[in-house]
Chains A and B, each alone.
Chain A
Amino acid sequence: MTHALPVELDVDGLAAPPRSNGELVFAEPWQSRAFGMAMALTQAGALDWEDFRQQLVVQIAGWESTASPGDSFSYYGCWLDALEQVLVTRRLVATGAVRALADEIAARPPGWDHDHHHDDHHDDHHHHHDP
């Protein structure tokens, strides 16, 4: 391995991530981005892992207490909510900023960024529009 693990993930209890045969399971690309964001922020010292983990437990417990039968649980939905909550609390992200930018992205015509950046924009980090 070339990198040390920045955190020790929970293996049981509410905060344990979904996994199969010892590997993490990401059902959609945004889930892995949300995961990678928390890891990168933790390594950079911008996020306190224990703060985040506790907020994640709060989000999951909150979901469990309010969910109706048939609601499908999204571990990484709770993960993203927890991450946003901690970042807003630490004033690293302004309240409402994520929502505002997401609305703005949603209102853009399809392919807007391909038209403007197709020669100098080789990464695909911002192209996870597909479900």
Chain B
Amino acid sequence: MTDPRAADDRVPIALRTQALEQLLVERGLVDPAVMDNFIKMYETDVGPLNGAKVVAKAWTDPEYRSRLLADGTAAVAELGYKGSQGEHIVVVENTPSLHNVVVCTLCSCYPWPLLGLPPSWYKDPAYRSRMVREPRTVLAEMGLRLADGVEIQVWDSSSEVRYFVLPERPAGTAGLAEEDLVPLVTRDAMVGVAQVEP
């Protein structure tokens, strides 16, 4: 087998990509519109932005918040988020005295439609086992220092249930509209290893 990189060093890779696409389109093997859909889906439709929209809506719409906590799957489906690995979502709410964090001790179950691709540390065996045994220490190592009085609840996701953390709305954001709150909500906050910063 030859090394295609060595052979193609003179041709810019953008042109090689274009050439391959053109050959595949000519042979009817790919449809550029289908490619566009996949690119858009992975760039924008699958990712923590969906989860952030759920959180911002829950912060600004008390009735939505109630529905979200009562039946996470149905409430996120209201916003159009469902599909692979998003079937059974349970939302757990952080309060001043309770902090929730999600782990999957068996594998790496994760709510893809809401949070996109899981971070690599989520699959790390050390994260998975230590978060259950010593969550306060692990959270502090990840940059989240919780006061001693705050109870920590660790939720173990499985193929049946995917947990999703509704973070606390940060102080000083009372004047912000739903769409202005969305960019504040990070993936880490929805896994429970961070808090939302104003």
Please report A residues at the B interface, Cβ cutoff 8 Å: 1, 3-6, 8-9, 11-12, 16-17, 19, 21-24, 26, 28-30, 32-37, 39-41, 43-44, 46, 62-63, 74, 77, 80-81, 83-85, 87, 92-93, 97-99, 101-106, 123, 125-126, 128-129, 131
**Does B126 count as interface, using CB distance less than 8 angstroms?**
no
Bound-complex Cα distance A4 to B87 (A) = 13
Bound-complex Cα distance A11 to B24 (A) = 28
Bound-complex Cα distance A16 to B22 (A) = 26
Is the Cβ of B83 less than 8 Å from the Cβ of A123?
A: no
Q: Tell me which residues from 69 to 128 in chain B have a Cβ below 8 Å from any Cβ of chain A.
A: 80-84, 108, 112-113, 115-120, 122-124
Q: Is the interface of B mostly helix, strand, loop or mixed?
A: helix
Q: How many chain-B residues does the 8 Å CB contact rule pick out?
A: 59
Please report B residues at the A interface, Cβ cutoff 8 Å: 1, 3-5, 7-8, 11-24, 27, 29-32, 34-39, 41-49, 80-84, 108, 112-113, 115-120, 122-124, 186-187
Bound-complex Cα distance A43 to B39 (A) = 13
- Complex interface: chain A residues within 8 A of B119 (CB): 11, 22
Is the Cβ of B108 less than 8 Å from the Cβ of A102?
A: no
| B43 → chain A closest CB, angstroms | 6
Is the Cβ of A11 less than 8 Å from the Cβ of B117?
A: yes
Which of B7, B29, B119, B123 lies at the interface centre, i.e. has the most chain A CB atoms within 10 A of its CB?
Answer: B29
